[in-house]
């Protein structure tokens, strides 16, 4: 897995008002959780974080977090557990990290990418339905694959690739159901051709409309008869 480095500093600013002031200064508040130890409050550069977000998929990514505390600096291996975004503006407002050990297995979701061109799409007009975008695995941090590449060059219309069809590294244990469909090629949608009326054949009106027209015509005729009777009485 690619090594991603993020610089951070310890912080004393806690509470809503102080963290807002921290964000105004260009920092993002963060917390690193450690098994058997107290959580540690941190702050990271907002501009640096945005740069990493554009370059990498950080959620569930493994990071080398370089934490500066006064004159000391320590590197912690951690997972980005959660990235919190402002619901209105969409900018990052908080980060949660989980410290991990190089000697302990961890559970992590790895992205799935399709490789090649499916004949069912290229030649037969079908479409590739990417159903499962991530697969959860368990392994040591050093064995985490950066992505799970799936070859689709043999897929025809109606063909599917399940988790059980994918070859994983020997030290990686798959946690998701082996029968889950990852990718599937579906047939093209059939366009409905409008049926043209045959020459000489009258277009049939719906019965309800027909009945309404007949009732309206009868009402009109009845109105004319009443007018005639009134005219006779006047004479």
CATH code: domain of residue 115: 2.170.120.20
> Which pLDDT belongs to residue 224?
55
Burial of 211: CB neighbours in 10 Å, binned 0-12, 13-18, 19+:
exposed
Q: d(Cα 107, Cα 134) in Å, to the nearest integer? A: 13
pLDDT of residue 72: 83
In this prediction, residue 174 carries a pLDDT of 97
User: Which DSSP string corresponds to 117-143?
Assistant: --HHHHTT--EEEE---EEEEEE-GGG
Domain harbouring 96, CATH code? 2.40.240.10
- Bridge partners of 85? 92
d(CA 171, CA 194): 57
Residues 92 and 9 in one domain: yes
Point out the residues of the chain with pLDDT beneath 50: none
What per-residue confidence (pLDDT) applies to 222? 56
In a domain, 165, yes or no: yes
What pLDDT shows up at residue 204? 55
* pLDDT reported for residue 178: 97
- 95 and 170 share one domain: no
**Where among 100, 125, 144 does a domain terminate?**
100
Task: Tell me which of 35, 66, 100 is where a domain ends.
Answer: 100
Distance of CA 235 to the CA centre of its chain: 84
- Paired tokens of 43: 């702050």
* Per-residue pLDDT, 211: 54
Position 11 in a domain: yes
| pLDDT per position as a tens digit, 67-78 | 988 778 889 999
Range of the domain at 161: 107-186
Q: Which position has the token pair 């934490």?
A: 67
| pTM of the complete model | 0.68
Q: What is the pLDDT of residue 219?
A: 56
């Amino acid at each position: 897995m690619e090594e991603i480095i993020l610089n951070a500093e310890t912080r004393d600013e806690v509470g809503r008002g102080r963290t807002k002031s921290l964000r105004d200064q260009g920092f993002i508040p963060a917390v690193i959780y450690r098994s058997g130890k107290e959580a540690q409050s941190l702050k990271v550069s907002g501009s640096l974080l945005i740069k990493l977000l554009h370059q990498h998929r950080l959620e569930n990514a493994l990071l080398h977090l370089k934490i500066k505390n006064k004159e000391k600096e320590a590197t912690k291996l951690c997972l980005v557990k959660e990235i919190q975004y402002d619901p209105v503006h969409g900018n990052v407002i908080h980060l949660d990290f989980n410290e991990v050990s190089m000697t302990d297995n961890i559970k992590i979701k790895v992205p799935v990418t399709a490789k090649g061109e499916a004949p069912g799409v290229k030649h037969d007009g079908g479409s590739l339905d990417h159903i499962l975008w991530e697969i959860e695995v368990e392994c040591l941090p050093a064995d985490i694959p950066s992505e799970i590449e799936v070859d689709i060059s043999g897929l025809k219309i109606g063909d599917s690739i399940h988790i059980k069809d994918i070859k994983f590294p020997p030290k990686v244990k798959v946690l998701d159901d082996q029968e889950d469909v990852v990718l599937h090629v579906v047939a093209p949608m059939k366009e409905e051709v409008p049926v043209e009326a045959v020459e000489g054949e009258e277009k049939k009106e719906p019965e309800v409309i027909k009945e309404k027209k007949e009732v309206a015509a009868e009402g009109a005729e009845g109105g004319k008869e009443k007018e005639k009777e009134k005219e006779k009485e006047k004479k």
